[in-house]
């Protein structure tokens, strides 16, 4: 029986986020909050492992109270328990401070039920760093395995896992001792639709919510803004390039002009195309 | 922490099967500028099995010093042994800055090293600068899915670390014979202390053109409306002998595989010609293609940001313009190649 913990995050949907063109700031209210899409694959994989080997799936997140919604989404996907750490003390954390806080929460979860495996998504779509997963693994002193695209075997009795790690031109088969941490690629699975009973369970589900006072051995200097070595000094609109020349005329003429421009680089085309 | 003790700019040299990753050479170019501005040394950190001879290449691309960890334990990349080597090197020689390629390996290693040191790590940097007097690294990167740029600092810890996107910085011109100081290092780690083992490496050779190496990239976006509509992109790429690229939403819609995604969370490309068709041009896409030689945009919306980033644009419907392009290119290329053949014949006559 495995105990797998998936670390997840609620993020603004950066695809639809709008910018205020006057102030160059983000209108966060314009973006719906969603479960980080890469984390959905992590939860899905944890649930598949539960079906394969038996056991429990827990999810853990750090965030403001509305992030409960992301936990409920994970319950819909088949997770059994949800844990959230939520406190002003965590606010403003960079990846180093985030991995510290999550590690303290994982230690507490482990006292409730020992953890065999931690799964994270490859990265979040708001931070785009992919640094928190390996950070957690280092803090817990367990092997981090990033770029995991397939889980071949988990053998709890003999204490090992075998996975495929994606390489640029293929993959490698890696064996690791358990417990360990995987950061998974989205190609690892297709996220299933939530079955109705899970949706009902999720609607009623109340996650465990912990403040900083609920965690053990916390050095407050390592939390939140205070514990974050990186600071965002400046946020700015990307430099606007000069802008191109728009071709004019009816489509036929535009296309002819364009082909004239492109074919000035004729060395690129010799021996290519045209003749069928 | 005494900042005075930390000196020099380092680049982690990523190596696989005796070949240095191009991004590491690019970072030596960027690192050289930072080092010169600060008036300090540029060093490469080379970790692997039978890699010592690669030091020469690292010197020829701009480094003054190379720290080498050459041992069978480094045969395949694994986080723990590589991390211990870098931690050892940091402890002994105390750099002020370490740069890594934002490759899967570079990110994995940098994240682990940053946690153990501990220090700050900025991911996926696309612009780097350094304050001459304070040595403060100004690492800028697209943030929030690429909607804005952020400049990130690490004021209170050393070394300052960043992963840097491939193909954004420029390698220096190789200077054959340029040399420097090799410092050989060892870590006392035994194979049985390492908790992961690489059992097998499977290389998947594919026929497809790699978009990061292609001279011509034809990229499509949501403006193609459907997977079927996206076929136009494949057709144009075929005619031009180019590779197919795509925006993130197209990949997420499942019209094409992730390998084709251009941009912040995909691949950075620098082809000689880049076609952006039905792509609006969010900054996250732009950072992945803005260094292309000639950028051509086709989009219905005249206000699409892509028109600010292109060299030439056509405001129009992809479904009207692209078939015309395919037809006219076919004819033009047939002519071009006939002409080339004739020239050749004349020369040989």
Partners of B114 on chain A (C-beta within 8 Å) are 95-96, 131, 135
Interface contact flag, B314 A17, Cβ < 8 Å: no
- Residue A26 has its nearest CB partner, among B80, B144, B296, at B144
Q: Which of B121, B124, B309 sits opposite A241 (nearest CB)?
A: B309
Mean of pLDDT values over B20-28 = 97
Of B3, B103, B142, B145, which to mutate for an interface test with A (greatest number of A Cβ within 10 Å)?
Answer: B145
Set of chain A residues whose Cβ sits within 8 Å of the Cβ of B203:
169-170
Across the interface, do A238 and B286 touch by the CB < 8 Å criterion? yes
pLDDT, tens digit (0-9, with 9 covering 90-100), for B37-64: 999 999 999 999 999 999 999 999 999 9
Question: What pLDDT is stored for residue A275 in this prediction?
Answer: 36
CA of A105 vs chain B CAs: smallest distance (Å): 17
Of B114, B119, B307, the CB nearest to A246: B307
The pLDDT of B65-85, averaged and rounded, is: 97
Range among A17-31, A215-229, A233-247, B325-339 rated most confident:
A215-229
Which residues of chain B neighbour A268 with C-beta distances below 8 Å? 215-216, 272-273
| The pLDDT value given to residue B344 | 64
Q: What is the pLDDT of residue A264?
A: 85
Burial environment of residue B97 by CB neighbours within 10 A (0 to 12, 13 to 18, 19 or more):
buried
pLDDT confidence of residue B206: 62
Distance from CA of B11 to the nearest CA of A (A): 19
**pLDDT recorded at residue B282:** 87
Residues of B within 8 A of A180 (CB-CB) are 195-196
Chain B CB contacts of A263 below 8 Å:
332, 336
Residue B14's pLDDT band (cuts 50, 70, 90)? very high
A236-250, B154-168, B325-339: the lowest-pLDDT one: A236-250
Cβ of B196 within 8 Å of Cβ of A173? The answer is no
Nearest Cβ partner for A146 among B108, B202, B309: B108
Torsion, Cα A195 A200 A202 A205, to 10 degrees, reads: -150
| Chain A residues touching B79 at Cβ < 8 A | 134, 143-146
Question: If you average pLDDT over every residue of chain A, what do you get?
Answer: 92
Does residue B213 have a pLDDT over 90? no
For the ranges A170-184, A227-241, B4-18, B330-344, the lowest mean pLDDT is seen at B330-344
Q: Which residues of A touch B295 (CB under 8 A)?
A: 244
> What would the mean pLDDT of B202-211 be, rounded to a whole number?
74
C-alpha distance from A72 to closest chain B C-alpha (Å): 23
Confidence of residue A115 (pLDDT cuts 50, 70, 90): very high
For B339, nearest residue in chain A (alpha carbons): A270
Burial of A76 (0-12, 13-18, 19+ CB in 10 A): buried
Q: How many degrees, rounded to 5, is the angle at CA A228 between CA A226 and CA A233?
A: 100
Query: What is the model's pLDDT at position A276?
Result: 35
Distance between CA atoms of A133 and A156, rounded to whole angstroms? 21
Q: Express as a percent the part of chain A with pLDDT over 90.
A: 78
pLDDT of res. B162: 98
pLDDT tens per residue across span A142-166: 999 999 999 999 999 999 999 999 9
Q: Is B311 in contact with B295 (CB distance < 8 Å)?
A: yes
Q: Do B153 and A230 touch (CB under 8 A)?
A: yes
Per-chain mean pLDDT for chain B: 93
The per-residue pLDDT for B347 is: 65
For residue B277, the model assigns a pLDDT of: 97
Q: What is the pLDDT of residues B121-177, one digit of tens each?
A: 999 999 999 999 999 999 999 887 667 889 999 999 999 999 999 988 999 999 999
* Three state DSSP letters for chain B: CCHHHCCCEEEEECEECCEECHHHHHHHHHHHHHHHHHCCCEEEEEEECCCHHHHHHHHHCCCCEEEEEECHHHCCCCHHHHHHHHHHHHHHHCCCEEEEECCHHHHHHHHHHHHHCCCCEEEEECEEEECCCCCCEEEEEEEHHHCEEEEEEECCCCCEEEEECCCCCCCCCCCCCCCCEEEEECCCCCHHHCCEEEEEEEECCCCCCCCCCCCEEEEECHHHCCHHHHHHHHHHHHHHCCEEEECHHHHHCCCCCHHHEECCCCECCCCCEEEEECCCCCHHHHHHHCCCCEEEEEECCCCCCHHHHCCEEEECCHHHHHHHHHHHHHHHHHHHHHHHHHHHHHHHC
Q: Of A169, A177, A270, which has the smallest distance from its Cβ to B195's Cβ?
A: A177
B123 CB neighbours in chain A (<8 A) are 95, 127-131
Q: pLDDT for B224-254, tens place per residue? A: 999 999 999 999 999 998 999 999 999 989 9
Chain B residues with CB under 8 Å of A245 CB are: 311-313
Residue A237 and residue B148: Cβ atoms within 8 Å?
A: yes
ipTM over 0.85: yes
B104 contacts A166? CB cut-off 8 A: yes
Which has the higher per-residue pLDDT, A272 or A109? A109
What percent of chain B has a predicted confidence (pLDDT) above 70?
Answer: 95
pLDDT at B207 over 60: no
CB pairs under 8 A between A and B: 284
Residue numbers in A near B153 (CB within 8 A): 230-231, 233
Give the mean pLDDT of B329-337: 85
Which sign, positive or negative, has the C-alpha torsion B116, B120, B123, B127? negative
Chain A nearest-CA distance from B7, in A, is 19
Q: Give the chain B residue whose CA is nearest to the CA of A122.
A: B104
Nearest to B334 among A176, A259, A275 (CB): A275
Residue A273 banded pLDDT, cuts 50, 70, 90: very low
């Amino acid at each position: 029986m495995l105990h797998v913990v998936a670390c997840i995050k609620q993020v603004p949907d950066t695809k639809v986020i709008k910018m205020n063109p006057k102030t160059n700031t983000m209108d966060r209210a314009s973006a719906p909050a969603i479960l980080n899409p890469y984390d959905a694959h992590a939860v899905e994989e944890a649930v598949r492992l539960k079906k394969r080997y038996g056991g429990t799936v827990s999810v853990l997140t750090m965030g403001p109270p509305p992030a409960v919604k992301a936990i409920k989404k994970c319950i819909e996907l088949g997770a059994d328990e949800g844990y959230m750490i939520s406190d002003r003390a965590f606010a403003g954390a960079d990846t180093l401070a985030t991995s510290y806080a999550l590690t303290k929460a994982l230690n507490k979860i482990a006292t409730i039920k020992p953890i065999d495996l931690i799964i994270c998504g490859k990265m979040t779509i708001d931070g785009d760093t992919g640094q928190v997963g390996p950070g957690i693994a280092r803090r817990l002193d367990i092997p981090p395995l990033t770029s995991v695209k397939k889980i071949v075997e988990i053998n709890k009795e003999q204490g090992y896992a075998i996975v495929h790690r994606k390489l640029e031109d293929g993959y490698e088969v890696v064996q690791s001792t358990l417990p360990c941490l995987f950061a998974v690629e989205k190609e690892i699975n297709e996220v299933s639709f939530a079955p109705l009973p899970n949706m009902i369970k999720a609607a009623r589900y109340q996650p465990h919510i912990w403040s900083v006072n609920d965690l053990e051995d916390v050095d407050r200097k390592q939390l939140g803004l205070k514990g974050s070595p990186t600071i965002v000094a400046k946020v700015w609109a990307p430099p606007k390039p000069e802008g191109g020349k728009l071709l004019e005329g009816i489509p036929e003429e535009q296309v002819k002009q364009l082909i004239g421009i492109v074919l000035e680089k004729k060395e690129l085309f010799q021996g290519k195309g045209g003749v069928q | 922490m005494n900042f005075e003790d930390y000196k020099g700019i380092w680049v982690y040299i990523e190596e696989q099967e005796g070949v240095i990753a191009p991004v590491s050479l690019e970072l030596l170019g960027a690192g050289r500028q930072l080092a010169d501005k600060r008036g300090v040394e540029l060093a490469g950190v080379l970790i692997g099995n039978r890699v010592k001879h690669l030091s020469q290449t690292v010197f020829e691309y701009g480094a003054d010093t190379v720290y080498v960890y050459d041992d069978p334990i480094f045969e395949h990349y694994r986080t723990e042994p590589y991390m211990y080597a870098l931690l050892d090197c940091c402890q002994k020689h105390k750099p002020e800055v370490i740069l890594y390629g934002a490759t899967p390996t570079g990110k994995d290693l940098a994240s682990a090293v940053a946690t153990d040191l501990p220090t700050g790590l900025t991911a996926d940097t696309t612009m780097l600068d350094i304050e001459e007097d304070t040595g403060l690294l100004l690492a800028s990167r697209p943030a929030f899915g690429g909607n804005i740029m952020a400049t990130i600092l690490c004021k209170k810890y050393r070394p300052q670390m960043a992963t840097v996107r491939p193909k954004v910085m420029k390698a220096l011109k190789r200077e054959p014979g340029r040399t420097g100081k090799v410092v050989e290092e060892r870590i006392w780690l035994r194979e049985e202390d390492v908790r992961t083992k690489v059992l097998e490496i499977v290389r998947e050779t594919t026929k497809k053109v790699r978009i990061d190496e292609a001279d011509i990239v034809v990229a499509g976006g949501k403006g193609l409306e459907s997977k079927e509509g996206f076929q136009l992109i494949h057709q144009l790429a075929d005619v031009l002998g180019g590779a197919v690229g795509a925006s993130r939403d197209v990949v997420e819609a499942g019209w094409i595989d992730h390998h084709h995604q251009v941009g912040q969370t995909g691949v950075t490309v620098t082809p000689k010609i880049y076609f952006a068709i039905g792509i609006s041009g969010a900054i996250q896409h732009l950072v992945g293609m803005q260094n292309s030689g000639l950028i051509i945009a086709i989009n219905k919306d005249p206000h699409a940001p892509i028109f600010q980033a292109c060299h030439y644009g056509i405001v129009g419907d992809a479904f009207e313009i692209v078939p015309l392009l395919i037809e006219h290119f076919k004819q033009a290329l047939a002519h071009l190649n006939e002409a080339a053949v004739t020239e050749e014949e004349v020369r040989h006559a």
